[in-house]
Structure 1
Amino acid sequence: MNRIQGAVTALALVASVGFSASTMAETAAEEGQRLFREHCRNCHRLERMDFEAQSRAVRRYHRGMKSRGKTCIDCHEGIAHPESG
């Protein structure tokens, strides 16, 4: 079986059990974002932030990121590494 035929067969199988292509795309995008965020955390850690170099408002926001489940890329996506986007 060639690659294209295999992909079409896989999509037909998924569709036959009630999943739509848009649902699959959403799921894949969410998983990609989760993995990307985990990768970002290798370097971008709250513990490594210099809070004293930040304005009071930014410092307050950054200190509350963890409790709100936020990551750097929620606000800064594409800023630090624009060539990777």
Structure 2
Amino acid sequence: MNSPTTSQGIVRESYDQFEDEGFEIFDKNAGYYISYQTVKPMGIEKIDRLVERLLSKGIELRFTPNVLLGNQLFLQILRDMGNT
């Protein structure tokens, strides 16, 4: 299982590798897994030039200074689309 690592809300250009054992699905649609125990990563792999690599594949990146603001915007978009 791989997961991005964060420090003060900023995604670092690396990911931790974990064994699947001890994790359970939290949100199937989002692909979130949780563990109720402390889990030590098997390894950490650095990803070079992450932003440039994503942009080169045509992936749109959006940054927000406040995660709650992004959540509110997302919910408003869903309301506008009639999905809530």
**Bigger CA radius of gyration:** 1
Higher share in strand: 2
TM-score when normalising by structure 2: 0.23
Could you say which structure has the greater relative contact order, defined with CA pairs below 8 angstroms and 6 or more residues apart? 2
